[in-house]
Amino acid sequence: MSPMHKLTRRAFATAAALTAAALVTTLLPSTAQQAAQTPIKIGALLSLTGDLQAYGENCLKGIKLALDQINAAGGVLGSPIQVVEADDQTSAQPAIDAAQRLVNVEKVAAIVGALGSGITIPVATTVTVPSKIPQISPASTAPTITTLDDNGFLFRTVPSDAFQGVALAQITREENLERLAIIYINNDYGKGLADSFKAAFEKRGGTITKSVPYEPGQASYRGELDQLKEGDPQALVLIGYPENGAIILRQALEGGLFDRFVFTDGMRSPDLATQVGADKLEGSIGTSPQALTDSKAYQIFAEAYKAAYGELPPTPYIDTAYDAAFVLALAIQKAGSADGTAIRDALRQVANPPGTEILPGEWAKAVELLKKGEDIDYTGASGSLNFDENGDVAGTFAHWTFKGGQIVDLKVFEPEG
């Protein structure tokens, strides 16, 4: 073979190799491109079974709505944001196990949840806080959360029961109720709200004739109800959840012990009228955290929810779950990272003044402002999310009633005093 022939073959081989390499480079995404498409994961630790199932399923829709809007507008830091669901079974130990899976296996950047205060607190103290994972509860209202040693990693988008107790005292006195008995679920939520309400009701001149805790899962609550009838109360205040609450109501009615009831947010379930009887609950009243439904932010959210899932049900926490997911995504965008500590530190920067107002769904607007280095202030579907030093927010409450088997809001108000 001549030297010229060898040179020609060598040149051809080199050119072919370069062409193949160029083709591979063109067809395969770069490492940076691949990284940009790796989803950022947010955990949704919710009660999809158990006593709070009615709320968990709807909260998940709120979270998904927020993330779907964000992904449709380009995602977070150029990546899609993905929800990883976990069922806490409305129980502390399954919740801890589920949270550990979210953090250690799924590698979520943050968690929305849980719903029950008695679940949120152990999850925070044993899993999220030690792991430096931000956690936002859309429904845990126990006053003890305010003073929890959480190193700033636990937030909530719902106001504390320190305020709901005042709201409940206000509406019961407006209804001319002077003597009330309380039955409450024996957990952080139940005890905290019972204590808050008792103090506020007595401050307004009312009398609590008896206050008795109950344990979930019992077949009968007649013993507790017999105690509560002492002192001739005008009505029974039930602080609990629908599954066991329905049993308590039926037994109170069957025994002729009570025929008038007062509820809190945990019992705001449209299924209750079916389980107990619409006529039996007619005129019963309650309170629950509730956004001002005529606000622009709430209207935008409600219309988006209707387009995605149909009519917005009258159960609480769908808007607060939406807000929790949306504000977490804003914090990740602001931080420029999915690092837990960076997200924690950015949450107040995107939710509190000063800054340009961002409404639900305005993801593209928020990203553009953040890229320019400008401040933003998210106004949520549930109201202003101005997190204080404890991760708490203020809020308004609904005075609601059962009418014709339906839940009807009579007014939305800020509690006084």
Mean pLDDT, residues 390-401 taken together: 97
- The residue written with tokens 């509690």 in the block is 415
**CA-wise closest residue to 127 among 92, 176, 162:** 92
Determine whether 415 is exposed, middle or buried from the number of CB atoms within 10 Å of its CB (0-12, 13-18, 19+): buried
pLDDT tens column, 322-352: 999 999 999 999 999 999 999 999 999 999 9
Q: Do domains 38-159+294-384 and 162-289+397-413 have the same CATH topology?
A: yes
So what's the pLDDT on residue 9?
44
The residue ranges of every structural domain in the chain are 38-159+294-384, 162-289+397-413
Question: Residue 37's pLDDT band (boundaries 50, 70, 90)?
Answer: confident
Superfamily of domain 162-289+397-413: Response regulator (3.40.50.2300)
Does domain 38-159+294-384 fall into CATH 3.40.50.2300?
yes
**Tens digits of per-residue pLDDT, 150-206?**
999 999 999 999 999 999 999 999 999 999 999 999 999 999 999 999 999 999 999
- The set of residues, in sequence order, having a beta carbon less than 8 Å from that of 362 and lying 6+ positions away, is none
pLDDT band at 21 (very low <50, low <70, confident <90, very high): very low
pLDDT tens profile 218-256: 999 999 999 999 999 999 999 999 999 999 999 999 999
Mean pLDDT of 121-137: 99
Q: What global pTM score does this model have?
A: 0.88
Whole-number average pLDDT of the chain: 93
Instruction: Please state at what angle helix 318-335 crosses helix 53-72, rounded to 10 degrees.
Output: 40
**Strands (DSSP E) along 257-380, which ranges?**
261-263, 285-289, 356-358, 376-380
pLDDT at 216 over 90: yes
Whether the predicted pLDDT of 40 surpasses 90: yes
Cβ-Cβ contacts under 8 Å for 367 (sequence gap 6 or more): 73, 74, 333
CB 181 within 8 A of CB 194: no
